[in-house]
Structure 1
């Protein structure tokens, strides 16, 4: 009989192993056998908890998205309750340490690519996109007319995603890329809040 709590422990162990293997060999070569070996379990255990590789990738993305949600909520909870501070907190949450660790970055890229062909992953991607845009728009709407707030939300969401992708692929040190990405987002935010866009 399995120990109480073993399921959660095993699942976390296998998700961590998956991130590690994707970081090392890429998604295409991240076989269940390699993941099982990394976790120190049999492939049967992986199949038992996740079914197949797609189920495991889905679980990994759900964990990363949960970590992203928690990071954004943490940054927002310690920020002042004004639109600029709250938007900066959303920016900071999206570039949080939990989201820029090497294995997570490569899994995000694999997720984005795979979501083009897998409906379950595509649905997760849409939820994440809508949450980011909605949160940004709601904060911009506290300072701008609604049409401008929607445009500002869409602009900032696209900037966050674009900078994140460029930072991931760039050869420069991660710390500098992170600093530059945040600064560009802050500058864009200041432009939106300083007056009407032309």
Structure 2
């Protein structure tokens, strides 16, 4: 394996281990030691690759954000979609198996709480929020007047985030996530009528 491939694999292993550690221990009890133990990698590599735990937490959040972006691109790129189809794709991208998994949900919840205190995490959250609203607004604008498209985008973003959050906190989140996705799609269909 070449050096870049080794670095990419170790980086991904540490991100995966961070997700597992947050799932098992919570963000506050996730340490360099818990992460390196899960990854089976020396704790010194965390400092080498990420400048410590905070850098790895940010990289893990970027990983989830990138995955969200790629999930949408897979659904819409190079496809001629009607506004409703594109809007449904945005909803689906937010409710993928990864985004709804226990490790990801616990990491997202911890991230949102920490974003209120960490400027770098707050910046990532702002980017994520703007991306969601912009994508929704663009799609709604294909079928609605400008002001209606803006309102619909903001309301849909709030529904996606709100339903996602409520689902993540349920005793049986899998069922709740499926229902949440359907409720968001139903709202979009009604709004476009």
TM-score scaled by length of structure 1:
0.93
Question: 1:3 offset after TM fit, Å?
Answer: 3.3
Give the alignment's Cα RMSD to 1 decimal. Answer: 1.4
1:147-194 CA-partner distances (Å, limit 9, x unpaired): 0000000000000000000000011251x2122101110111122111
In structure 2, the residue matched to 1:190 is 189
Match of 2:187, SS? helix
Is contact 2:168-2:177 (8 Å) kept? no
Match of 1:96, SS? coil
Is contact 1:64-1:99 (8 Å) kept? yes
In structure 2, the residue matched to 1:29 is 29
The 5-angstrom pairing of residues 7-156 of structure 1 reads 7-77=7-77, 81-156=81-156
Detail structure 1 runs of 4+ shifted over 3 Å in the superposition.
77-80
Question: d(CA) in 1 for partners of 2:90 and 2:3?
Answer: 39
Question: d(CA) in 1 for partners of 2:87 and 2:176?
Answer: 20
Is contact 1:167-1:181 (8 Å) kept? yes
Task: Identify the structure with bigger relative contact order (alpha carbons < 8 Å, sequence gap 6+).
Answer: 2
Question: d(CA) in 2 for partners of 1:27 and 1:102?
Answer: 13
Match of 1:64, SS? helix
Question: 1:80 offset after TM fit, Å?
Answer: 5.2
The number of equivalent residue pairs is: 192
1:82-107 CA-partner distances (Å, limit 9, x unpaired): 10111011101110112111111111
Sort the Cα spacing of 1:158 and 1:4 in 2 relative to 1 into closer, same or farther, 3 A: closer
Task: Point out where structure 1 has 5 or more consecutive residues left out of the alignment.
Answer: none
In structure 2, the residue matched to 1:159 is 159
Question: 1:5 offset after TM fit, Å?
Answer: 2.0
Match of 1:12, SS? helix
TM-score scaled by length of structure 2:
0.95
Question: d(CA) in 1 for partners of 2:183 and 2:33?
Answer: 42
